[in-house]
Amino acid sequence: MTDTAVCPGETASPQPAHPLDPATAAEYLAGREIMATAGLLAVPVRFAYYGLEEPPKDDVLTGQASDRRLRAFLIDTGTGESTDVVVSLADRKVVSARRLDPRTDGQMPILDSDYHDVEEIVRADPAWRAAMARRGLHDVSKIRTAPITAGVFGVADDDRRRMVRVLAFVQEGEHDLAWAHPIDGVAAYVDLVSRKVFKVTDEFELPVPAESGDYDDEAVRGPHRTTLRPIEITQPEGPSFTLDGHTLSWQDWSMRIGFDAREGLTLHHISLRGRPVIYRASIPEMVVPYGDPRFRYWQAYFDAGEYLCGTWASSLELGCDCLGEIAYLDATVTDVTGRPKVIKNAICVHEEDFGILWKHTDIFNHSAQTRRQRRLVVSYFTTIGNYDYGFYWYFYLDGIIECEIKATGVMFTSAYPGGDHPYSTEVAPGLAAPVHQHLFSARLDMTVDGLANAVEEVDVSGLPVGPDNPYGNAIVQHVTRLTRESHSGRRADGARGRTWRIISTEHQNRFGRPVSYTLYPESAPVLLADPAAPLTARAGFATNHLWVTRYDPAHRYSAGDFVNQHPGGAGLPGFIAGDQDIDGADIVLWHTFGPTHVPRPEDWPVMPVARCGFTLKPTGFFDRNPTLDVPPPSPHCPAD
């Protein structure tokens, strides 16, 4: 039997305007039909990922990208057989279909349906029910389960299976916040192919924390405050940007907006005054490792590679998620049968006032001028289990680009054992939130005034007293060129103000110096897992703040193509193993950033947004302040 019902008209010829436009519903269906015809979709084959296979950069830049290709990760849920498929829509054929060996290649991402099925599987297991009964929990209908990707820890019985490890929570009523009531000490290991619990680890018992965390309940949160008066954002003449299909233009900026089930929002062809800056920007991976070494040592998620960030994107609402004159773009992803699913208003585009751009009151000529900064905001939000992440890209009038992640939602919890427990914070009576990290990986395919770029590491320091520095006040820059991939694994250094400058090796400014953009990192800790930890091999990208690789169309994901239960070594730092020349080449920067989250009581029961990110600033990209032409903000402000 083949599961390929396609409604008449649904395969109408898809005509995307640009080779990098996201795959359309019609394209997904057309690709699905090609796979079905090739016999790849016999039930119970499911789509673990389905998205656009972007054409190589050279083809796009030379206008040679005529084909549209789609890539699908297929899994036979009955056998676990996994196939990585690429189809050509132009040729209507399967281009490649590679069978994975899970022991070396890893497993397909978690399916949407796995999430739902696991609860039923766990609730039916006698050993797990017995563990619950020992804790006085007899009504399993009140127990909710959180399936957690398994990782790889060299335990043969685990590693050979497609599996998840499951932690559980009590939900006292339909609206109770289950995360407030973790059942600690016990985990069920579920084989997703046999659909059975094959192991229950039960190490200790602690009381299930009782206090309600239901922040929707007035008894928990208290009455709403009444002292906030309205803030209205009005743009009587409309916003200053234009959105034409997926092409966005605002002031000196232009770019294309993309969206992918795995990476979420992607930005392409970012240019300023017609000068290219970034060919493609995205956050292709992130890892959230937890620091509790007890029975839950395996708790670490790769939210993009294992759970597919884009699939879980929110539909945004005016007046709630976004204020002002908003333009929305829908995102088209697919369900596990490969059929399109539209997420309405997934991407938000708007413009914000951002305070002062520049200001000066001159003591000599008495000029008193103020200009206001604005930024263009392109964003989306996704919910992965307990956490919610907002991915925001900002573009400013003065050429600055910022990426900001807003982490919010509900922290993952455990029971607080009392005493001095260094691995977690008590956030409610008997309730703990373990210390953890959120490490994001930005992939920045740079094109600063063209493809020929290089990276300089710039440190600053004071100099010791000496013949040229008799009073010891000298401050100098130390510039180190990163010439080969093998030298590109770098750490930030806040004490030395370390930045990385991406220079054009072909274009100079009026001072004869290379035009450039500078990456300002936040200098937070990188991966804190031990170098010998199994996780470190799988999250190699997170061991440094910066990597620079020569562009390779196959290098898309920081932890490799197949992250779930991958034994390690894929992605970075493997991408640099060829040690290619990166000086004056077509290069890609990979930047690791994000907080090490030591939970606070104030983060419970729902966490106020925690921000992290990085900044890219033009550095000699312009010959002077590029915003002298910005007019005074309103008639009553001083004018020149």
User: What single-letter DSSP state applies at residue 107?
Assistant: B
Of the candidate spans 374-382, 427-435, 489-497, 589-597, the one that interacts with Cu ion by CB under 5 A turns out to be 589-597
Residue type, 428: A
In the complex with Cu ion, the residue whose CB is nearer, 53 or 292, is 292
Using CB under 5 A as the binding rule, whether residue 597 contacts Cu ion is answered as: yes
- The answer to whether 303 is a known catalytic residue is yes
CA atoms within 13 A on the CB side of 168: 30
C-beta contacts of 568-574 below 8 A and 24+ residues apart: 568/152, 568/534, 568/536, 568/537, 568/538, 568/540, 569/537, 569/540, 570/106, 570/538, 571/285, 571/540, 571/541, 572/441, 572/540, 572/541, 572/547, 573/489, 573/540, 573/541, 573/543, 573/544, 573/547, 574/540
- The answer to whether 387 is a known catalytic residue is yes
Residue nearest to Cu ion (CB): 597
Between the alpha carbon of residue 291 and those of residues 181, 197, 405, 435, 563, the distances in Å are: 20, 25, 22, 5, 20
Burial category of 5 from C-beta neighbours within 10 Å (exposed 0-12, middle 13-18, buried 19 and up): exposed
Residues 6+ apart with CB under 8 A from 513: 620
Using CB under 5 A as the binding rule, whether residue 498 contacts Cu ion is answered as: no
Here the tokens at position 360 are 């000066």
In the complex, least distance from residue 597 CB atom to Cu ion, rounded to whole angstroms = 3
In the complex, least distance from residue 387 CB atom to Cu ion, rounded to whole angstroms = 7
In the complex with Cu ion, the residue whose CB is nearer, 371 or 597, is 597
Here the tokens at position 484 are 């080969």
In the complex with Cu ion, the residue whose CB is nearer, 87 or 439, is 439
Between the alpha carbon of residue 113 and those of residues 77, 147, 389, 397, the distances in Å are: 10, 11, 22, 45
In the complex, least distance from residue 436 CB atom to Cu ion, rounded to whole angstroms = 6
In the complex, least distance from residue 438 CB atom to Cu ion, rounded to whole angstroms = 5
Using CB under 5 A as the binding rule, whether residue 46 contacts Cu ion is answered as: no
In the complex with Cu ion, the residue whose CB is nearer, 150 or 405, is 405
Which of 429, 419, 421 lies closest to 210 in space, CA to CA?
429
In the complex, least distance from residue 433 CB atom to Cu ion, rounded to whole angstroms = 8
94 SS3 class: strand
Using CB under 5 A as the binding rule, whether residue 555 contacts Cu ion is answered as: no
458 SS3 class: strand
In the complex, least distance from residue 598 CB atom to Cu ion, rounded to whole angstroms = 9
Residues 567/101, Cβ–Cβ less than 8 Å: no
In the complex with Cu ion, the residue whose CB is nearer, 289 or 489, is 289
Beta bridge mates, 388: 383, 408
Per rule CB under 5 A, count of chain residues that contact Cu ion? 1
Which of 385, 386, 377, 382 lies closest to 404 in space, CA to CA?
377
In the complex with Cu ion, the residue whose CB is nearer, 144 or 597, is 597
In the complex, least distance from residue 415 CB atom to Cu ion, rounded to whole angstroms = 18
Using DSSP bridges, classify how beta strands 499-508 and 436-437 pair: parallel, antiparallel or unpaired.
Answer: unpaired
Question: H or E element: which one contains 550?
Answer: strand 546-550
In the complex with Cu ion, the residue whose CB is nearer, 199 or 406, is 406
457 vs 450: CA distance, rounded Å: 20
Of 407-466, binders to Cu ion (CB under 5 A) are none
Of the candidate spans 96-104, 110-118, 592-600, 624-632, the one that interacts with Cu ion by CB under 5 A turns out to be 592-600
**Identified catalytic residue from 28, 387, 396, 557:** 387
In the complex with Cu ion, the residue whose CB is nearer, 331 or 542, is 542
Using CB under 5 A as the binding rule, whether residue 123 contacts Cu ion is answered as: no
In the complex, least distance from residue 145 CB atom to Cu ion, rounded to whole angstroms = 21
457 vs 496: CA distance, rounded Å: 11
**Identified catalytic residue from 176, 184, 214, 303:** 303
Of the candidate spans 356-364, 560-568, 590-598, 626-634, the one that interacts with Cu ion by CB under 5 A turns out to be 590-598
Of the candidate spans 138-146, 155-163, 459-467, 596-604, the one that interacts with Cu ion by CB under 5 A turns out to be 596-604
* List of residues contacting Cu ion (CB under 5 A): 597
Point out the residues that are catalytic: 303, 387
